[in-house]
C-alpha cells in the first residue's frame, strides 16, 4: 500500500528513508529530525521529530489553515507505526551485514539516514509526526544555491513574493505564527518576546545579521503559476502559546511573556516588525548588495503590502475561530478572538 498521512505506516510498505536535511546536526539545522520515507508505488511521506502533541497540533493547524490552504495535514505517529520504523531500521542493518559477508553492498546510500532515524527513534522523548511531501522552496536553500553560482531558485523566490498576493500571503502567515506563538520563523524581538538584538547566521560561508528572522530554512514559497508564501512547518515546540486552553492574562502571567499576536493591534510596533522582516528578507534576496545601495528586490510598497497581509490574516483567523469555537465561545478562546477581531 502507498504511504499516506491518513493510513498507518506499515513495515511491508516501506522501501527507503532519507534524512531530509542531510548534514551534521548543528545549531538551527534540521538534520536528523526530518526524514523522507519512500514507499510502495513510488509514494513518499515526511516524518518529523518535534516536542508537540495532538491538541497542540490541532490548534496550530486550524489557525494556519485560516490563511494557508492547503495546509499540510500533520498527524502524530502511533506506537505501531514507531515499531514499524524501528523494525525497518533493524532489518536494514541485518540485511546489510548479510550482504557484506557475501562481499556485496546493500543500499549504501541509505546507511547514514537509517542510522540517524534509528538513533532518533531510540530516544525516550522522540515524538514523530507525519505529513505529506509538499513542493516548496525555502529561502536558505535558494540562497545557498545563489552563493554557489545558481541564481535561478532565488530569483524565482523573489518573484513569488514580489508578485501580486505574494508579500500579502507572507503577512498572513506572519499573523498566524503570532497567534500560535511560533517564533521559529520570525520573532518580534524586544516586544515582550525575546531580547532586542540581532541573530547571526552563516549561509554559504557568508555571515548575515538578522533583526527578526530566526530560521531562514522555515521561510517557504511554492513556486510556479499562482505561487505564494507557504505556512509549512507551523509548529514550534518551544512556543508558550501553542495551547489555547488557558485564559490569556493567566497564560501571559504564567510564562512571563506577552502574547505575540498583541503586536497586531499596536500600529507602531506592527510597522516596526514589518520593516524588520523586510530588512532581513532583502539582505537574503540580494546577498551582494552594498550597504549604501538603495536598491530593493521587493518593491517600494513592500512594507505596506506585508502589513496588509498581517491585518488580513488576523481577520481570517478571527473568522475561523468564530466558526469553529461554538456559541458561547470558551473564555480562553474569546480572549484571543476579541483581540484579533479588533485589528485594523
Mean pLDDT of 204-227: 90
242 and 193 in a common domain: yes
**Is the CB of residue 137 less than 8 Å from the CB of residue 131?**
no
User: Does the pLDDT at position 331 exceed 80?
Assistant: yes
Q: Distance between CA atoms of 211 and 202, rounded to whole angstroms?
A: 15
310 and 197 in a common domain: yes
- Residue 1 located in a structural domain: no
Task: Pick the most confident of 26-30, 47-51, 130-134.
Answer: 130-134
Higher per-residue pLDDT: 236 or 6: 6
pTM to 2 decimal places: 0.85
192 and 261 in a common domain: yes
User: Does the pLDDT at position 159 exceed 60?
Assistant: yes
90 and 110 in a common domain: yes
- Residue 6 located in a structural domain: no
Q: What is the CATH number of the domain that holds 171?
A: 1.10.1070
Number of domains present in the structure of the chain? 2
306 and 215 in a common domain: yes
**Is the CB of residue 86 less than 8 Å from the CB of residue 118?**
yes
Q: Which of 89, 110, 131 is the last residue of a domain?
A: 131
280 and 327 in a common domain: yes
166 and 106 in a common domain: no
- Residue 4 located in a structural domain: no
Residue 52: pLDDT band with limits 50, 70, 90? low
294 and 185 in a common domain: yes
User: Does the pLDDT at position 153 exceed 50?
Assistant: yes
Residue 140: pLDDT band with limits 50, 70, 90? very high
User: Does the pLDDT at position 324 exceed 70?
Assistant: yes
Residues 60-101 have pLDDT tens digits of 888 998 998 755 678 889 999 999 999 999 999 999 999 999
User: Residue 180: which H helix or E strand, with range?
Assistant: helix 166-180
- Residue 198 located in a structural domain: yes
244 and 169 in a common domain: yes
Residues 105-127 have pLDDT tens digits of 999 999 999 999 999 999 888 88
Task: Pick the most confident of 25-39, 54-68, 287-301.
Answer: 287-301
- Residue 3 located in a structural domain: no
Residue 14: pLDDT band with limits 50, 70, 90? very high
Residues 274-284 have pLDDT tens digits of 999 999 999 99
User: Does the pLDDT at position 223 exceed 60?
Assistant: yes
Residue 31: pLDDT band with limits 50, 70, 90? low
- Residue 62 located in a structural domain: yes
User: What's the domain range around 101?
Assistant: 11-131
Q: Which of 131, 162, 193 is the last residue of a domain?
A: 131
CA count, 13 A, side-chain hemisphere, 139: 26
Beginning with the edge strand found earlier in the chain, give each strand of the sheet holding 34-39 in spatial order. 14-19, 34-39, 44-49, 128-131, 74-76
89 and 231 in a common domain: no
171 and 62 in a common domain: no
User: Does the pLDDT at position 24 exceed 60?
Assistant: no
Which candidate, 177, 215, 235, places its Cα nearest to that of 50?
235
199 and 250 in a common domain: yes
Q: Distance between CA atoms of 275 and 280, rounded to whole angstroms?
A: 9
Q: Which of 80, 106, 131 is the last residue of a domain?
A: 131
Q: Distance between CA atoms of 17 and 110, rounded to whole angstroms?
A: 7
CA 151 to chain centre: 24
Amino acid at each position: 500500500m502507498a504511504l499516506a498521512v491518513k493510513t498507518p505506516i506499515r513495515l511491508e510498505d516501506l522501501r527507503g528513508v532519507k534524512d531530509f536535511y542531510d548534514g551534521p546536526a548543528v545549531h538551527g539545522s534540521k538534520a536528523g529530525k526530518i526524514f523522507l520515507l519512500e514507499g510502495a508505488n513510488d509514494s513518499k511521506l515526511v516524518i518529523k521529530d518535534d516536542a508537540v502533541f495532538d491538541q497542540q497540533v490541532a490548534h496550530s493547524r486550524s489557525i494556519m489553515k485560516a490563511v494557508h490552504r492547503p495546509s499540510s495535514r500533520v498527524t502524530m505517529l502511533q506506537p505501531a507505526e514507531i515499531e514499524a520504523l524501528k523494525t525497518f531500521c533493524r532489518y536494514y542493518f541485518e540485511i546489510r551485514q548479510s550482504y557484506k559477508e557475501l562481499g556485496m553492498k546493500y543500499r549504501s546510500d541509505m546507511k547514514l539516514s537509517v542510522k540517524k532515524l534509528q538513533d532518533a527513534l531510540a530516544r525516550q522523548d522522540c515524538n514523530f509526526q507525519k505529513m505529506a511531501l509538499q513542493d516548496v522552496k525555502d529561502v536558505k536553500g535558494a540562497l545557498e544555491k545563489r552563493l554557489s553560482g545558481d541564481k535561478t531558485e532565488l530569483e524565482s523566490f523573489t518573484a513569488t513574493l514580489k508578485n501580486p498576493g505574494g508579500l500579502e500571503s507572507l503577512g498572513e502567515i506572519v499573523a498566524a505564527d503570532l497567534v500560535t506563538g511560533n517564533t521559529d520563523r520570525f520573532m518580534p524581538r524586544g516586544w515582550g518576546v525575546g531580547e532586542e538584538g540581532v541573530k547571526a547566521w552563516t549561509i554559504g560561508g557568508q555571515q548575515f545579521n538578522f533583526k527578526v528572522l530566526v530560521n531562514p530554512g522555515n521561510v517557504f514559497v511554492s513556486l510556479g503559476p499562482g505561487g505564494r508564501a507557504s505556512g509549512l512547518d507551523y509548529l514550534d515546540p518551544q512556543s508558550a502559546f501553542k495551547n489555547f486552553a488557558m485564559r490569556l492574562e493567566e497564560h501571559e502571567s504564567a510564562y512571563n511573556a506577552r502574547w505575540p499576536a498583541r503586536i497586531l493591534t499596536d500600529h507602531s510596533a506592527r510597522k516596526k516588525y514589518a520593516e524588520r522582516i523586510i530588512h532581513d528578507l532583502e539582505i537574503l534576496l540580494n546577498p551582494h548588495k552594498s550597504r549604501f545601495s538603495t536598491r530593493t528586490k521587493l518593491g517600494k510598497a513592500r512594507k505596506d503590502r506585508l502589513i496588509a497581509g498581517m491585518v488580513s490574516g488576523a481577520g481570517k483567523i478571527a473568522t475561523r475561530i468564530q466558526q469553529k469555537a461554538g456559541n458561547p465561545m470558551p473564555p480562553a478562546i474569546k480572549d484571543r478572538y476579541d483581540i484579533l477581531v479588533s485589528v485594523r
